[in-house]
Amino acid sequence: MANSPQIEFLPEPGMDVRQLFILLHGVGGTPDSLLPLAEAVRAAFPTAAVLIPEGFEPFDGGGAGRQWFSVRGVTEENRPARVAAALPALAAYVQQAQQRFGLLQSDTALAGFSQGAIMALELVQAHDGMAGRVMAFSGRYAELPKTAPRYTTLHLLHGSADPVMDVALIQAAQTRLDELHGDSTIDVATGLGHELHPALIQRAIVRLQTCVPLRSWEAALGLDQSPPDGTTVH
């Protein structure tokens, strides 16, 4: 299944689609690179539709890969504008998929690797609650958030030895989210580099299966505050 423009997996015939997962590859990548993650999601959530679109632009580094935004000449100063320009097309794609399956935003999860993780994080930053969950592998924010999403739970997963996106970037993001009373978790795998490693995939599945969203915890207790330790309950 080489260089497919989009890959999708649906539940077995006769099963209703109850969840939607949209997986976003890294810069210069293709949907095929996310097949291990897709297979793990399918095994854990058999009633889910799993969609893996290709980046909406040809990779300007050459080859058959795709990108969500250009990294040619990218800087800390111009990255936010590039991401913002790429978000409307992704938002439209997500909304169309939700309409196709008749699912709510809360039934939707986004997962991204590297540049795909940037897109997933920034999409729910711009459109709070467009997805109920985000799994950001080896990613970062285009710029640290000034507010935290209220209706999206964020799962940040990273390798401690990542040479492309330093782990300090995502740790700083987690610190900021904590300060903003955000609903997020972070898992850092010792010794791993910039890769979608099976250990991180498995940890993401555990997070999805066991973490109770902060908003649900507060609603159940009739509170508008965080748990005593300020983290997601799991």
**Residues taking part in catalysis:** 114, 162, 194
32 phi/psi in degrees, rounded to 5:
-60, -30
Helix or strand or coil: residue 220? Answer: helix
**Which residues is 24 bridged to in the sheet?**
112
Whole-angstrom distance, CA of residue 133 vs CA of residue 114: 17
Rounded (10°) angle between helices 35-44 and 198-210: 30
Name residues whose C-beta falls within 8 Å of residue 162's C-beta, 6 or more positions apart in sequence. 138, 192, 193, 194
Whole-angstrom distance, CA of residue 21 vs CA of residue 97: 10
- The sheet carrying 6-9 orders its strands as 6-9, 48-53, 19-24, 108-113, 133-137, 153-159, 184-189
Here the tokens at position 143 are 């710029």
Question: Among residues 165, 164, 86, which one has the least CA distance to residue 122?
Answer: 86
Helix (H) or strand (E) holding 25: none
Q: Nearest-5° angle of CA 95, CA 98, CA 99?
A: 85
